[in-house]
Chains A and B, each alone.
Chain A
């Protein structure tokens, strides 16, 4: 049951809604689902005795015990593969990667086995595992620890990829992920774990493939000037940019895609039909990125509605730098987004 949403922010509003942290919202989703379904277990590095490297699983060992909240050694390929076997047998694993950067050493399991099992077994065995963890630059973590994996992994059929941008979605999307019979990658942002937002107390599932309009209205008296499309943490930069541009009378639709696979291309086209301009903000590198995919689909399905070529704001096309100022400029940010919107409008 989806609660009503705030008309401005699309945030959920329901009885019992309180302000909690993004990490608490993730924890609530896992705990509520684990109470409902004994087949679910959580495994990952430091998830149990340490209470989570980022305190997402804090207290879960106390509630569910060591047979269901399981510390794994630093052995990503091993425990990712363990989850594949366990899921095929009939359990519902949640695997926490401390960082999606570390998922690269588990690439064979999560890209070769997880998404292909249903197909290569001719429909005999699926692989309902939720892999989740921090995705994206955490804050001066350097080149190897700052991966955003969505562009690379979204290339592989068989996976679903969710990227929450706020606490309420963190809970609702993860709930959907856990209940899904297909494998889901839930990409969370370390930089957002302490961000607070309104989150309903009860359990609720946000359907995949349904974007949320964070700024602008579907039924506004005046069409917006530009469509901003993003997912995950950069949605918040888009909202900042839109609010700043609004002071100059430039109105933006901000579409939070929530999931990149499935991708709610229908909502994007609906918005572009009214704005005739689109800027895609993507925290991956530009070459063969999610922005590339969105813009391709917009050209395929909405070319005639465009008054300006589609624009993209990606991370800069270099390895992630360490220095604070370089990293800040490397990432998509409000200034880059505002400049792109102004470029599309010619002002």
Chain B
């Protein structure tokens, strides 16, 4: 990941003071490219959905790009992450191949889950993304478990664990275990689910290095946060209730990836160093509806337009071109072309990929240790190797 690169000389023209000021230009350019990739990818998703090429539910990340890119940019590539169903952004920010991501939504065999997961279930083992989960709040216990395992690996095993099937669970099984931190994303709607509160209690109790990142976009589906959540004006009280260090990133900061990073990076570093949990109320905004079928009667067009004036991609472009002066307009346009081309190729790849083979895939990946008589109707089989592995 970018932050592991040798630090370059900070731009002398930047007036910023936070840790992001020390990041090399290339890192910030990469962030801009990733944010633009997510935006472009989601725009094409919406089109494909309207053309009925994507089925089921589809929740777009447009507007929230700085959250995924900024927080993922603040941790290491082998730090585990898990998220909810608005997951395309996290998958792309973590490095998932856009073709595999789009093909999954098209229900194709080349998708990240061979077409068995769909939009809400983006999994990417090589990139330490443990899903894409559909039940609101259920992933918070998983994020806690990932932190438990990471701490166990470091504290009890002292080396990377091996997966039972012989493949390494860590990318380098011979490497000594190190202190990790798990990032667990949730929407503000999950604040009211019991699972989150059980997960936070366990994380506080066992001192597990998990950071619960509330992507607070003000609405759980059509319900404004004040209508569904107590203490909506001070969500940090919820972290404090479980003895968890808490951080608020307000909307101005949440839409400015540099200020987001300035706050989040030291916080994440401390959670890692102390092997302690964290809770982040990260204010952001989604431009689209909750899912593709949302008429958005619960908010005004003016409200949406006001946030778009502070668009995270626009802000970073202006910073790179005018403040850091590390990107020219020509370079920006070239980057845009490269990304648009990449997404267009992903669409073509998804379009042209084969659908899953019924005989090979319908009854595979149900059990890994297949035995006779597990089902009364048909024996299970081993399916094709996942294209990401």
Which A residues fall within an 8 A CB radius of B?
Answer: 38-39, 41, 67-68, 70, 72-73, 75, 77-92, 108-109, 112-113, 117-126, 128, 157-158, 160, 180-182, 207-209, 261-266, 293, 296-297, 300
Contact B135 A39 (CB under 8 A): no
A41 to B155, CA, bound (A): 13
The minimal Cβ–Cβ distance linking B376 to chain A, given in whole angstroms, is: 5
Q: A182-B369, A209-B371 are in contact. Are A120 and B117 (CB under 8 A)?
A: yes
Is B192 in the interface zone, CB < 8 Å from A? Answer: no
Q: A80-B141, A125-B125 are in contact. Are A108 and B374 (CB under 8 A)?
A: no
Q: A82-B145, A86-B152, A182-B368 are in contact. List 8 more A-B contacts (CB 8 A).
A: A38-B157, A67-B156, A78-B198, A81-B198, A85-B147, A118-B366, A128-B164, A182-B367
Interface centre among A75, A264, A266 (most CB of B within 10 A): A75
Contact B198 A119 (CB under 8 A): no
Query: When the two chains form the complex, which single residue of B152, B365, B366 contacts A91, counting CB atoms closer than 8 Å?
Result: B152
The minimal Cβ–Cβ distance linking A70 to chain B, given in whole angstroms, is: 8
A120 to B111, CA, bound (A): 11
The minimal Cβ–Cβ distance linking B272 to chain A, given in whole angstroms, is: 16
Contact B164 A85 (CB under 8 A): no
Is B116 in the interface zone, CB < 8 Å from A? Answer: yes
Q: A68-B156, A85-B146 are in contact. Are A125 and B162 (CB under 8 A)?
A: no
Is B5 in the interface zone, CB < 8 Å from A? Answer: no
A141 to B161, CA, bound (A): 42
Contact A41 B364 (CB under 8 A): no
Contact A119 B366 (CB under 8 A): yes
In the complex, which residues of chain B have a beta carbon less than 8 angstroms from the beta carbon of A180? 369
Please, what's the 1-or-0 string for B121-138, where 1 marks a CB less than 8 Å from any CB in chain A? 101110000110101001
A113 to B121, CA, bound (A): 11
**Stretch in B25-33, B299-307, B321-329, B381-389 touching the partner:** B381-389
Is B234 in the interface zone, CB < 8 Å from A? Answer: no
| Nearest chain A residue, comparing its CB with the CB of B100 | A122
Contact A121 B113 (CB under 8 A): yes
Query: When the two chains form the complex, which single residue of A41, A118, A123, A208 contacts B371, counting CB atoms closer than 8 Å?
Result: A208
| Nearest chain A residue, comparing its CB with the CB of B117 | A120
A78 to B140, CA, bound (A): 9
Q: A86-B148, A112-B135 are in contact. Are A124 and B389 (CB under 8 A)?
A: yes
The minimal Cβ–Cβ distance linking B64 to chain A, given in whole angstroms, is: 23
In the complex, which residues of chain A have a beta carbon less than 8 angstroms from the beta carbon of B182? 85
In the complex, which residues of chain A have a beta carbon less than 8 angstroms from the beta carbon of B161? 39, 89-91
Is B37 in the interface zone, CB < 8 Å from A? Answer: no
Contact A89 B145 (CB under 8 A): yes
In the complex, which residues of chain A have a beta carbon less than 8 angstroms from the beta carbon of B141? 77-82, 84-85, 109
Is B163 in the interface zone, CB < 8 Å from A? Answer: yes
In the complex, which residues of chain A have a beta carbon less than 8 angstroms from the beta carbon of B156? 38, 67-68
Is B82 in the interface zone, CB < 8 Å from A? Answer: yes
Contact B372 A262 (CB under 8 A): yes
Is B288 in the interface zone, CB < 8 Å from A? Answer: no
In the complex, which residues of chain B have a beta carbon less than 8 angstroms from the beta carbon of A79? 141, 198, 202
Contact A75 B202 (CB under 8 A): yes
Query: When the two chains form the complex, which single residue of A39, A109, A122, A300 contacts B117, counting CB atoms closer than 8 Å?
Result: A122
Contact B142 A84 (CB under 8 A): yes
In the complex, which residues of chain A have a beta carbon less than 8 angstroms from the beta carbon of B388? 124
Which B residues fall within an 8 A CB radius of A?
Answer: 80, 82, 111-117, 121, 123-125, 130-131, 133, 135, 138, 140-150, 152-153, 155-157, 161-165, 169-170, 182, 194-195, 198-199, 201-202, 205-206, 364-369, 371-376, 383, 385-386, 388-389
In the complex, which residues of chain A have a beta carbon less than 8 angstroms from the beta carbon of B111? 122
Query: When the two chains form the complex, which single residue of A78, A112, A126, A261 contacts B374, counting CB atoms closer than 8 Å?
Result: A261
Q: A85-B82, A85-B143, A296-B376 are in contact. Are A125 and B130 (CB under 8 A)?
A: yes
In the complex, which residues of chain A have a beta carbon less than 8 angstroms from the beta carbon of B375? 157
Q: A181-B368, A181-B369, A182-B368 are in contact. Are A121 and B121 (CB under 8 A)?
A: yes
| Nearest chain B residue, comparing its CB with the CB of A92 | B164
Contact B201 A120 (CB under 8 A): no
A78 to B112, CA, bound (A): 28
Q: A67-B156, A90-B162, A108-B138 are in contact. Are A78 and B201 (CB under 8 A)?
A: yes
In the complex, which residues of chain A have a beta carbon less than 8 angstroms from the beta carbon of B131? 117, 120-121, 125
A318 to B78, CA, bound (A): 52
| Nearest chain A residue, comparing its CB with the CB of B140 | A81
In the complex, which residues of chain A have a beta carbon less than 8 angstroms from the beta carbon of B169? 89-90
The minimal Cβ–Cβ distance linking B284 to chain A, given in whole angstroms, is: 25
| Nearest chain B residue, comparing its CB with the CB of A79 | B202
In the complex, which residues of chain B have a beta carbon less than 8 angstroms from the beta carbon of A85? 82, 130, 141-149, 182
A83 to B164, CA, bound (A): 15
Q: A85-B148, A122-B111 are in contact. Are A78 and B202 (CB under 8 A)?
A: yes
In the complex, which residues of chain A have a beta carbon less than 8 angstroms from the beta carbon of B148? 82, 85-86, 91
In the complex, which residues of chain A have a beta carbon less than 8 angstroms from the beta carbon of B371? 160, 207-209, 262
Interface centre among A83, A91, A121 (most CB of B within 10 A): A121
Q: A67-B156, A92-B164, A122-B365 are in contact. Are A112 and B138 (CB under 8 A)?
A: yes
In the complex, which residues of chain A have a beta carbon less than 8 angstroms from the beta carbon of B113? 120-122, 124
In the complex, which residues of chain B have a beta carbon less than 8 angstroms from the beta carbon of A264? 373
Contact A81 B142 (CB under 8 A): yes
In the complex, which residues of chain B have a beta carbon less than 8 angstroms from the beta carbon of A293? 376
Contact A120 B202 (CB under 8 A): no
Contact B145 A122 (CB under 8 A): no
Contact B369 A266 (CB under 8 A): no
Shortest beta-carbon contacts, A-B, top 3: A85-B145, A81-B141, A78-B198
Listed by A's residue number, 11 A-B pairs whose Cβ atoms lie within 8 Å are A78-B195, A86-B146, A90-B164, A91-B148, A113-B135, A120-B117, A122-B365, A123-B389, A182-B367, A208-B371, A296-B376
The minimal Cβ–Cβ distance linking B175 to chain A, given in whole angstroms, is: 14
In the complex, which residues of chain B have a beta carbon less than 8 angstroms from the beta carbon of A82? 141-142, 144-145, 148, 199, 202
In the complex, which residues of chain B have a beta carbon less than 8 angstroms from the beta carbon of A91? 148-149, 152-153, 161
Contact B368 A72 (CB under 8 A): no
In the complex, which residues of chain A have a beta carbon less than 8 angstroms from the beta carbon of B365? 118-119, 121-123
Q: A118-B365, A181-B164 are in contact. Are A262 and B373 (CB under 8 A)?
A: yes
In the complex, which residues of chain B have a beta carbon less than 8 angstroms from the beta carbon of A73? 201-202, 205
Contact B142 A113 (CB under 8 A): yes
Interface centre among B112, B133, B376 (most CB of A within 10 A): B376
In the complex, which residues of chain B have a beta carbon less than 8 angstroms from the beta carbon of A209? 371-374
A88 to B125, CA, bound (A): 10
A296 to B375, CA, bound (A): 13
| Nearest chain A residue, comparing its CB with the CB of B195 | A77
Q: A67-B156, A123-B114, A128-B164 are in contact. Are A83 and B373 (CB under 8 A)?
A: no
